[in-house]
A and B are shown apart, each in its own frame.
Chain A
Amino acid sequence: MSAADDISTILSSGIRLTVPLAFAACGEYLAERAGTMNISLEAMMLGAAFGSVATASATGSATTGLVAGVLIGLLIGFVHGNLAHRLEVNTFVVGLVLNALVLGLTSYLITISSFDSHQVSQVSVPWLRDIPLIGHPLFVERWPVYLLLLVIPLTWWLVERSRWGLELRAVGEQPQAADVTGIRVNLRRRQALLWCGALAGLGGAYLAVGEVGSFNQNMTAGRGYIVIAAVIFGAWRLGRTLLGCVLFGLADAMRLALPALGLTMNSQLLVVAPYLLALLAMLVFTTRNREPKALGQPFVRGST
């Protein structure tokens, strides 16, 4: 194999590993702008991955599986939103419990069931796929990958340009003030979690019926946490968050490619890179005050 082939292979796998992160990151980014530090992202992705495979197996259609994954993400977002932003249970506690619940449930169910393998179809863009080095990685992909071209600008537009997004940002910054202005703070936060759930679900489902075609126990293996790290690394800006996803995806691809390349490199360092980079980013960026001020804080009318 030539060096160009190697690079192309790593790029290709890097992109595939980035895509689920990027979907979920768009969701988490929006939820955090509205003030929810949503650690049940892991549960959303894992639940969706399982649901998509189960549904695809039952219906014979990977696309239906993808839709089911989105629905499961929505369901978990709905549950998290209602526990944290209606019943006012601490959002981290909700996240911990949901992660434990979904991990236990999917592990339980996959142990006693077996599913047929289904995968969504591949799209190959003529002409462009022939570009050397990046042509094949970028333009021969499973079709949901190209949904990102829709999801990313849409997320940006929602947050930065729509009235809904303006209200989300207000809610994430100063919920008391937003409330007085007539914005339903907890409703907006629940809605943000639905968006987050849908996209995290899409990411998890893509991982299962897009890339792998099957489900295995703890399939997401902490990808939800990596996405949270990416949002922190991106200092709550969409572009940099996505850049973080690409970096983390490529690091993962490198790790997987190391043995084939005959390189000896510290694979632990590559695994740990996202977390270290996120910690580093926080150590460097905190003084710049990019973090939504009310991130992780519950809103109750009457308390300041």
Chain B
Amino acid sequence: MTIDERARELTPPTTPALRLRGISKRYGPVVASDGVDLDVHHGEIHGLLGENGAGKSTLMKILLGLVKRDSGTILRGEEPADITSPQEAVALGIGMVHQHFSLIDALTVWENVILGDTGKIDRTAACRQVEEVSRRYGLPIDPLARVDRLSAGERQRVELIKCLRRDPSVLILDEPTSVLTQAESAELFTVLRQVVRTEDRAVILISHKLAEITAATDRVTVLRKGRVVFHSETSATTPQELARQMVGRDVSLRAEGAALGLLPVDGGRPADTGTAPDTALDTAPDIETGTAPDTETGTASPAPGVVPALRLRDLTVTVDGVTALSDLSLDIAPGEILGLYGVEGNGQSVLGDLLSGLVLPTSGTVEVGGRPVELDRPGALHRAGLGIIPEDRHSSGVVLDMSIAENLVMKSLGDVSGRGFISRRKMYGIARRLAAEFNIVAPSMDTPVRSLSGGNQQRVVLARELSAGPSVLVAAQPTHGLDVGAIEDMYQRLQDAASGGVAVLLISTELEEVMALASRIAVICSGRITGVLPTGEATAERLGMLVGGVAA
């Protein structure tokens, strides 16, 4: 997209498609939304940028009628609108493309598409409509297919079709690219362009990725702690400015930049020009022209002669007849951070589960310190010296309704018990020490982990895992859902662990994160490693191709 195009876009605005005035929402003492004003115009893509917890999703839930606002007004055109249910939002022409939890696996595409409508079901008409919409926007899909058979990209298409079919004048997309490959993202943004250019709809794009916002939007609003802190035409601002507004202070550090979704300033790559972040839009054509990358594939040894701290050999995992990992091999040396990068849903979570002891491989081995681990023995990985920060800490990392102290000792009960009885004194002793060491902020060690902030919960996990003195630390999406301060803290801890000789496997979907932290990057696609390359040789383009499954 060129500057000219943008300029043409920014003709004097007519009545905005949607106006929010003074929207506020409190959850008890927490202010999620504090007098937010927002204008969204027809024919524009409006970026809504903010850290986790800045109030983006609360605002959108209010717009969709899922959450009731405390005060403020919503204007659709000139009319004030009172949205109290998703149906009313639809009636007002507000449509949302959800990223997670919105398609029913057991139903077919057409059934999903008409779900939420009213009136009689007409299957023939529904299928015809699906086909029509899919043709108009170039989103091929079989209306009779069951959703659980579709890929992430196809599901995204269904979401889009479902939304567009209702002919919304305002489209909201919530973090739409997190499960998409760059090619799929490119397809998405092409559709969005068409939607605003030729059909004059308004699009709100919610993201925490700076690169995406700068590349794809016409206008941007930054939220911080529930308030609008910055508003601008996208062309008139820079990623640095946006980053500063998002965090509330200057951003210069590598790690901070990565935390915000900026590529690290490294070598000859200037990051302050505003065009630096390679985006889905820009890289898409490269895939077609096919710049051949020369990457090492398969098992790249970190350094010859060193026994790898963690060695994964030919791991294959089949879940319900679907191969989630196939012949995955990786070596990680002591003191090294290896980034495993890929789009969500390509086997990373299965690998995380495997290294948590939750699933067993169909074939292949895991070696820690040169010795194979008997994976079918409960707790074997932990005893072998492998610590892990699981991807979804709520589901397997912590027990939310047990106390901080209990969560800190749960993997090493032997240390706090004798003859089967738990010594509370010992338990609290260990807990207090770890809490101090890892900055866990809580009223007492008896506090249930549920009532802690995400950052503190993550510190509990980290403290427990590192306190066992592991030789390997696996961090699976360790910064998901954390605010910038907590992310920086996490980065620092991971780097400290590595410089202390721990081998770190960083599983991440954030390109910027692996670029900033890892010394080597392995790319995973459809459960296999498509390439391993030193970070110095990695560029967004090369990684992008590997992520798309285009191996050398």
Q: Do chains A and B touch in the complex (CB under 8 A)?
A: yes
8 Å CB contact of A163 from B104, B107, B120: B120
Cross-chain contact B85 with A178 (CB below 8 angstroms): no
Q: Which one of A111-119, A166-174, A195-203, A240-248 is at the B interface?
A: A166-174
8 Å CB contact of A180 from B102, B107, B114: B102
Give residues 124-162 of A contacting B (CB, 8 Å): 161-162
Cross-chain contact B101 with A163 (CB below 8 angstroms): no
8 Å CB contact of A293 from B106, B115, B119: B106
The answer to whether A262 has its CB under 8 Å from any CB of chain B is no
Residues of the B chain whose Cβ atoms lie less than 8 Å from the Cβ of A257: none
Instruction: For the complex, give the distance between the alpha carbons of A169 and B111 in Å.
Output: 11
Encoded as 1 (CB less than 8 Å from any A CB) or 0, chain B from 97 to 125 comes to: 01001111111000100111111110000
Residues of the B chain whose Cβ atoms lie less than 8 Å from the Cβ of A161: 121
8 Å CB contact of A167 from B86, B106, B115: B115
Interface of B is mostly: loop
Residues of the A chain whose Cβ atoms lie less than 8 Å from the Cβ of B105: 173-174, 293
Check A173/B104 contact, CB under 8 A, given A181-B86, A182-B85, A182-B87. Answer: yes
Residues of the A chain whose Cβ atoms lie less than 8 Å from the Cβ of B87: 182
Cross-chain contact B107 with A182 (CB below 8 angstroms): no
The answer to whether A258 has its CB under 8 Å from any CB of chain B is no
Check A181/B121 contact, CB under 8 A, given A166-B107, A174-B101. Answer: no
**Distance of A113 from chain B, by nearest CB (Å):** 47
**Distance of B66 from chain A, by nearest CB (Å):** 8
Cross-chain contact B116 with A182 (CB below 8 angstroms): yes
Residues of the B chain whose Cβ atoms lie less than 8 Å from the Cβ of A183: 115-116
The answer to whether B204 has its CB under 8 Å from any CB of chain A is no
**Distance of B518 from chain A, by nearest CB (Å):** 30
The answer to whether B90 has its CB under 8 Å from any CB of chain A is yes
Cross-chain contact A177 with B86 (CB below 8 angstroms): no
The answer to whether A217 has its CB under 8 Å from any CB of chain B is no
Residues of the A chain whose Cβ atoms lie less than 8 Å from the Cβ of B89: 182
Max chain B Cβ within 10 angstroms of own Cβ: one of A170, A176, A180, A182: A182
Residues of the B chain whose Cβ atoms lie less than 8 Å from the Cβ of A167: 115
Residues of the B chain whose Cβ atoms lie less than 8 Å from the Cβ of A177: 101-104
Cross-chain contact A163 with B106 (CB below 8 angstroms): no
Residues of the A chain whose Cβ atoms lie less than 8 Å from the Cβ of B119: 163
**Distance of A111 from chain B, by nearest CB (Å):** 45
Instruction: For the complex, give the distance between the alpha carbons of A169 and B115 in Å.
Output: 11
Residues of the A chain whose Cβ atoms lie less than 8 Å from the Cβ of B106: 169, 173-174, 293
Cross-chain contact A181 with B107 (CB below 8 angstroms): no
The answer to whether A264 has its CB under 8 Å from any CB of chain B is no
**Distance of A170 from chain B, by nearest CB (Å):** 5
Instruction: For the complex, give the distance between the alpha carbons of A178 and B120 in Å.
Output: 18
**Distance of B394 from chain A, by nearest CB (Å):** 8
Max chain A Cβ within 10 angstroms of own Cβ: one of B87, B90, B114, B121: B121
The answer to whether A268 has its CB under 8 Å from any CB of chain B is no
The answer to whether A304 has its CB under 8 Å from any CB of chain B is yes
Chain A: which residue is nearest B118 at the CB level? A163
Instruction: For the complex, give the distance between the alpha carbons of A170 and B147 in Å.
Output: 12
**Distance of B235 from chain A, by nearest CB (Å):** 34
Instruction: For the complex, give the distance between the alpha carbons of A169 and B114 in Å.
Output: 13
Cross-chain contact A173 with B115 (CB below 8 angstroms): no
Residues of the B chain whose Cβ atoms lie less than 8 Å from the Cβ of A162: 121
Encoded as 1 (CB less than 8 Å from any A CB) or 0, chain B from 116 to 157 comes to: 111111000000000000000000000000000000000000
**Distance of A202 from chain B, by nearest CB (Å):** 27
Instruction: For the complex, give the distance between the alpha carbons of A266 and B118 in Å.
Output: 54
Interface size range on A against B: 10 to 19
Check A169/B86 contact, CB under 8 A, given A163-B121, A180-B102. Answer: no
Encoded as 1 (CB less than 8 Å from any A CB) or 0, chain B from 197 to 212 comes to: 0000000000000000
Encoded as 1 (CB less than 8 Å from any A CB) or 0, chain B from 474 to 498 comes to: 0000000000000000000000000
Residues of the B chain whose Cβ atoms lie less than 8 Å from the Cβ of A301: 66
Cross-chain contact B115 with A166 (CB below 8 angstroms): yes
Check A181/B116 contact, CB under 8 A, given A169-B106, A174-B105, A176-B101. Answer: yes
Check A182/B104 contact, CB under 8 A, given A161-B121, A163-B119. Answer: no
Max chain B Cβ within 10 angstroms of own Cβ: one of A161, A170, A173: A170
Cross-chain contact A163 with B117 (CB below 8 angstroms): yes
Instruction: For the complex, give the distance between the alpha carbons of A183 and B114 in Å.
Output: 12
Instruction: For the complex, give the distance between the alpha carbons of A87 and B86 in Å.
Output: 22
**Distance of A297 from chain B, by nearest CB (Å):** 14
**Distance of B68 from chain A, by nearest CB (Å):** 12
**Distance of A260 from chain B, by nearest CB (Å):** 48
8 Å CB contact of B101 from A169, A182, A293, A304: A304
Cross-chain contact A182 with B90 (CB below 8 angstroms): yes
**Distance of A190 from chain B, by nearest CB (Å):** 17
**Distance of B397 from chain A, by nearest CB (Å):** 15
Instruction: For the complex, give the distance between the alpha carbons of A293 and B104 in Å.
Output: 11
8 Å CB contact of A173 from B107, B117, B121: B107
Residues of the B chain whose Cβ atoms lie less than 8 Å from the Cβ of A174: 101, 104-106
Cross-chain contact A166 with B101 (CB below 8 angstroms): no
Give residues 244-302 of B contacting A (CB, 8 Å): none
Residues of the A chain whose Cβ atoms lie less than 8 Å from the Cβ of B104: 169-170, 173-174, 177-178
Check A166/B121 contact, CB under 8 A, given A181-B115, A182-B90. Answer: yes
Max chain A Cβ within 10 angstroms of own Cβ: one of B90, B101, B120, B121: B101
Residues of the B chain whose Cβ atoms lie less than 8 Å from the Cβ of A170: 104, 107, 115
8 Å CB contact of A169 from B85, B107, B120: B107
**Distance of B398 from chain A, by nearest CB (Å):** 15
Encoded as 1 (CB less than 8 Å from any A CB) or 0, chain B from 22 to 41 comes to: 00000000000000000000
**Distance of B103 from chain A, by nearest CB (Å):** 6
Chain A: which residue is nearest B123 at the CB level? A161
Residues of the A chain whose Cβ atoms lie less than 8 Å from the Cβ of B90: 182
Instruction: For the complex, give the distance between the alpha carbons of A182 and B91 in Å.
Output: 12
8 Å CB contact of B98 from A166, A173, A180, A293: A180
Chain A: which residue is nearest B65 at the CB level? A182
**Distance of A164 from chain B, by nearest CB (Å):** 10
Chain B: which residue is nearest A171 at the CB level? B104
Instruction: For the complex, give the distance between the alpha carbons of A162 and B98 in Å.
Output: 25
Residues of the B chain whose Cβ atoms lie less than 8 Å from the Cβ of A169: 104, 106-107
* A to B CB contacts below 8 Å, 23 in the list: A162-B121, A163-B119, A163-B121, A166-B121, A167-B115, A169-B107, A170-B107, A170-B115, A173-B104, A173-B105, A173-B106, A174-B101, A177-B102, A178-B115, A180-B98, A180-B101, A181-B86, A182-B85, A182-B86, A293-B105, A293-B106, A301-B66, A304-B101
Extra contacts besides A178-B104, A180-B98 (17): CB < 8 Å? A163-B117, A163-B118, A163-B121, A166-B115, A166-B121, A167-B115, A170-B115, A173-B104, A174-B101, A174-B104, A174-B106, A177-B102, A177-B104, A181-B102, A181-B116, A182-B89, A304-B101
The 3 A-B residue pairs with the shortest CB-CB distance, nearest first, are A182-B86, A182-B116, A181-B116
